[in-house]
Amino acid sequence: MGTFKTPTKVQEEIANINDGNSGKEVAFNPQTGELEVVDSQSDIAPNSTTITDVANDGFASDKRPVKVQDEIANINDGSSGKEVAFNPQTGELEVVESQSDISPNSTTITDVANDGFARQTPIVYAYEEEVNNFFKAGNNPIIKGAAFGWQEEDVYHVHIDIPKTPFSGTPCISYFAFVSQADFSLDKKDLIQKLGIELPKRTNNVFLDKTILCVFSYNGTSISKYALLLADNTFQECELKYVPQKSELYSRAKGLLEVDILEKKSVAIIGLGSFGSNIAIELAKAGIGNFKLFDFDRIELSNIARHTCGINDLGRYKTHAIRDAILQKNPFAKILTFEININETPDLLLSEIKDVDMILCLTDENQSRSRLNSIAVENKKKIIFGRAITRAEGGDVFRYNPEENKPCLACLIGKGLFNFQQEEISTEKQANRNLPAYTSAEDKAAAVQVGLSSDILPICNMIVKLTLIELSKGLNSGLATLEEDLIADYYIWANRREIKYKNLPKMEFKANHPSILRWYGVRVPKDQNCLICNNS
Amino acid sequence: MITTQRLKIEQQALDFGFPKRYVFHNLGSGSEWLEVGLRTNAGKTYRLKILLDDFPLKCPEVFVFQPTNLKDYNGKLLKDYGVSATMHLLGPDSQGNIKLCHYGDKWHGNVTLYKVALKCLVWLNCYDGHLRTGQPIDHYLKHQ
């Protein structure tokens, strides 16, 4: 039987160890991440580091950093003949010989505090389409526009037309100048003078104290260009880059998705709340080229947390805000917006939906779902319905495909699926619309239980995937195997073991039983007596 | 607007459940409505007005338009309840006809007008029970 040590006894032993009386000490072993009792200065493990000042540094501030700091100080003093330089290829600081062994791609940092990445010149972005239009117009040697800049970052976007995409940053004046070869090679200061542009002086008005000048010239074969940032009564040369036209925007997606084909596809999205907004932008990123957006609502404060749009879109129509967000990803997308209640203007809805390849119904009430279901059945359109249930504890997605003998939404609801009573109520407006009129104001307020954005994103993701599969069917895209997997019409997702899913077993480490955070495909037979899809 | 095809199906169902006790009004006008005469177990007759705007996409509104001025056990006009959970009533129309709460959020496009009328007949029987006992409709009828 071993000797039983009281806690006090153990503490005394530890105290003795740290006093140095025992010939042992506590040391941190970086390999195990544990403190170990070792013989003083003798049986220290090869990789152990002696703790000399635990109070100041739990991770044993040994002598080496001071030594390194001294060396760096010497380097930067110039006394060592070396200096620290940033290598843009590795992204690391390197010690190099002063002015001698700097690699060709290295840039010397002169002011780390102001610019961690040590940019030498401001960057100016001009939109290729606008530049082309400027050249085509031909009769204006100089034209005034606007630039939007982030001054701390020295980045400016210049425009001579109203930007297709919503702008941010601080505005200032910009010019496009088209000059002869001779003028192009003039001294910059002389050219500024010749063009009659005043160098802005420092003022209290941030909108007036900078000007961007973009100069272009054509030598018969190519277009030469440069840009100048005019400020503080002087000028600085900038790097002028183009924002390309559409041919280059999605070049990276080629191979996985048939971008050229998706570009011609059209999608109608009805409902641009937290679902519709995320899905619209994902589809734009995937290369869908044509959108019809339907929603009569405006962005309100209560939307912001889960919506893709932010505070700068408050009060705007959701259709317009999402149109702009899509254009940020694909400035060449063709987007039509309809600020209508589809239940009040069904004829307009019908006429606009007839020519789309796919309908996404992402509304939060059943009348519009029923309407879209009927339209899809009558017009043989593919349609996907998606929603979250209470507090986004889960959600479901239903796909109707008219090309096969598949159930419609009415078949599904008739079988007790897609149960409207469990629908998530995310706004008071929705509560007023969906709950019975006799529901008290308190009960309506209590019914508003919003889930997290991260809870609805998996459901959005599934809708995006199903949409892309449907739109690229038979086109030999990179989604062909996914098409074989996602064959169900109805999918259920659970986020948390609550209310509807409270009886699910814990996920833990098991993979072979029902659980949260997994998709479940449900085979739903067509209702042979359905009055909606059997009469079309 | 109800389609001709759907109208035929509805007529078939109503002929089965309430033969010769219904009339469709204003067909093709965009403001169609169905009139149904129902007799309760207590032998009383009520006439219902079922509005068909956007039927079957939207749950139809149902009003009792005859007899008028229905009262509760204590003699209070039912229309004065306004919206009432205990009496399963939604707000009355401008003529004071009471509006019955029936399918609510369980509505879907496969529900026929016959089923709507049948549910309203249940409400009317419960109302007769209320007039006998003073128990609210809620006592007899579960919320939909």
In tens, the pLDDT along A367-407 reads: 899 999 999 999 999 999 999 987 788 899 999 998 778 99
Average pLDDT over residues A246-257: 52
Whether B101 sits inside 8 A of A420 (CB atoms) is: no
Q: Which residues in B lie closer than 8 A to residue A415 (C-beta atoms)? A: none
Of A370, A421, A434, nearest to B109 by CB-CB distance is A370
Give B29's Cβ-side CA count (13 Å radius).
9
Of A367, A374, A438, nearest to B84 by CB-CB distance is A438
Q: Which residues in A lie closer than 8 A to residue B110 (C-beta atoms)? A: 410-411, 413-414, 527, 529-532
Measured CB to CB, residues of chain B less than 8 Å from chain A are: 5-6, 9, 54, 56-58, 83-85, 89-91, 101, 104-110, 112, 143
Whether B58 sits inside 8 A of A367 (CB atoms) is: yes
The answer to whether the beta carbons of residues A112 and A129 sit under 8 Å apart is no
Whether B108 sits inside 8 A of A366 (CB atoms) is: yes
Whether B56 sits inside 8 A of A436 (CB atoms) is: no
Give A164's Cβ-side CA count (13 Å radius).
17
Closest-CA residue in chain B for A371?
A: B57
Confidence of residue A250 (pLDDT cuts 50, 70, 90): low
Confidence of residue A95 (pLDDT cuts 50, 70, 90): low
Whether A436 sits inside 8 A of B85 (CB atoms) is: yes
Whether B83 sits inside 8 A of A535 (CB atoms) is: no
**Mutate: best of A363, A370, A387, partner B, most B CBs <10 A:** A370
Distance (Å, whole) CA A265 – CA A471: 7
| CB-based contacts of A245, cutoff 8 Å, min separation 6 | A128, A129, A132, A332
Whether residue B74 is predicted with pLDDT greater than 90 in this model: the reply is yes
The answer to whether the beta carbons of residues A106 and A88 sit under 8 Å apart is yes
Residue A31's pLDDT is 55
Average pLDDT over residues A158-175: 87
Residue A81's pLDDT is 53
Closest-CA residue in chain A for B60?
A: A367
Q: In angstroms, what separates the C-alpha of B20 from chain A's closest C-alpha?
A: 23
Residue A218's pLDDT is 84
Q: What is the SS3 assignment for B51? A: strand
Look up residue A503 and give its amino acid: N
Closest-CA residue in chain B for A412?
A: B108
- Structure tokens of A344? 């009040």
Q: Which residues in B lie closer than 8 A to residue A344 (C-beta atoms)? A: none
β-strand A123-127 against A234-243: which pairing, if any?
A: parallel
Residue B94's pLDDT is 93
Closest-CA residue in chain B for A529?
A: B110
Confidence of residue A480 (pLDDT cuts 50, 70, 90): confident
Confidence of residue A98 (pLDDT cuts 50, 70, 90): low
Confidence of residue A245 (pLDDT cuts 50, 70, 90): low
Distance (Å, whole) CA A535 – CA A203: 73
Residue A202's pLDDT is 79
Average pLDDT over residues A319-333: 90
Residue A127's pLDDT is 87
The answer to whether the beta carbons of residues A275 and A459 sit under 8 Å apart is yes
Whether residue A110 is predicted with pLDDT greater than 50 in this model: the reply is no
Residue A166's pLDDT is 75
Q: What is the SS3 assignment for A526? A: coil
Whether B57 sits inside 8 A of A370 (CB atoms) is: yes
Q: What is the SS3 assignment for A13? A: helix
Residue A487's pLDDT is 92
Average pLDDT over residues A155-181: 88
**Mutate: best of A438, A529, A530, partner B, most B CBs <10 A:** A438
Distance (Å, whole) CA A158 – CA A534: 57
Whether residue A21 is predicted with pLDDT greater than 60 in this model: the reply is no
Mean pLDDT of chain A: 78
Whether A374 sits inside 8 A of B57 (CB atoms) is: yes
- Structure tokens of A144? 């005034």
| CB-based contacts of A439, cutoff 8 Å, min separation 6 | A431, A447, B85
Confidence of residue A57 (pLDDT cuts 50, 70, 90): very low
In three state form, how does the secondary structure of A210-223 look? Answer: EEEEEEEEECCCCE
Whether B110 sits inside 8 A of A530 (CB atoms) is: yes
**Mutate: best of A366, A432, A534, partner B, most B CBs <10 A:** A366
Confidence of residue A82 (pLDDT cuts 50, 70, 90): low
Whether residue A4 is predicted with pLDDT greater than 70 in this model: the reply is no
Global confidence as pTM: 0.71
**Mutate: best of B53, B105, B111, B137, partner A, most A CBs <10 A:** B105
Distance (Å, whole) CA A376 – CA A361: 10
Whether B108 sits inside 8 A of A527 (CB atoms) is: no
Is the omega angle on the peptide bond into residue A30 within 30 degrees of 0, that is, cis?
A: no
Number of H helices, E strands in chain B: 3, 6
